[in-house]
Structure 1
Amino acid sequence: MMKERMKVSLPPEVKKYIQSYMKEHHLSFTGDAISRICQEHEEAQKKESDSIEKTVKNFTQHIEDLLQKERLYMKKESLYMERNIERSTRDSLKEVEDYSIAKRGELFASLLEGYEK
């Protein structure tokens, strides 16, 4: 890795932070400490970004699963309603047919009575 010399002015608290970081990580050069801090920061951002992407992916999958369950539920309910409507329609048609047969029978009986007289 190619290095480039820079002159940097830092606030005292930043300088103290870098010096404590150097002691903690046994580093001799300020540039190495700053470079490592930047690298760690970059990795932390990448992990956070990956974490957000993973969360979004999981959330999206959960929503898709819920929608699939809801579609299946609605499909079952519509089939159930369709069967009930068919049954109700058949029953109604049967009642109309029975009523029609009964009326025709009454009409036929009255015609026979009139014919017999």
Structure 2
Amino acid sequence: MKQRRMVSFDIKTDEYLQEYMKEQQFRFPGDAIARICLEHQTLQEEKQETPSQIVPVPSVEEMVGAIAEKINQLMETERLFLRNEWFCMEESMKRSIMEIFQEVEEKQAAKRGELVAAILERYNR
């Protein structure tokens, strides 16, 4: 059900209404005014709901505490990562050194074998 009213607007308001009607493709000013009123009412309801939904801003001490805790967590993670990397590098170096010692030992054993063979060959002559 619609109500019929006689309204008067100043020039700026009338220009705004005409522009709004073109943008929203309304044929009658009453429909445009009804939409504007509905949008205004929706905005007012949102403004009333917003304050209860706003989360209070934490104090500086709380923010500093939270940041410090996060930094401590990150530092602990990095420390564990570096410790694991150091352990892996140390184990890799141990294996490499053991392999080198084993190669040297095998070469020395081979040279001793060649030396013993040469001595035995001379002895047999």
Aligned partner of 1:84 among 89, 92, 105: 92
The CA RMSD over aligned residues, in Å, is 1.4
Q: Distance in 2 between matches of 1:51 and 1:99?
A: 72
The TM-score normalised by the length of structure 1 is 0.57
Pairing 1:112–2:113 present: no
Shift >6 Å, 4+ stretches: none
The alpha-carbon deviation at position 70 of structure 1 amounts to 0.5
Choose which of 97, 105, 114 in structure 2 pairs with 1:97: 105
Pairs aligned (count)? 70
Please name the residue that 2:71 is paired with.
Answer: 63
- Cα distance in 2 between the residues matched to 1:53 and 1:115: 91
Instruction: Give the gaps of 5 or more residues in structure 1.
Output: 1-46
Residue segments in structure 2 that go unaligned for 5+ positions in a row: 1-55
Distance 1:89 1:70 in 2: 28
Which of 22, 38, 62 pairs up with 1:54? 62
Structure-2 separation of matches of 1:58 and 1:88: 45
Partner of 2:46: none
Aligned-pair distance for 1:51?
1.0
TM superposition score normalised by structure 2 = 0.54
> Structure 2: how far apart are the matches of 1:99 and 1:110?
16
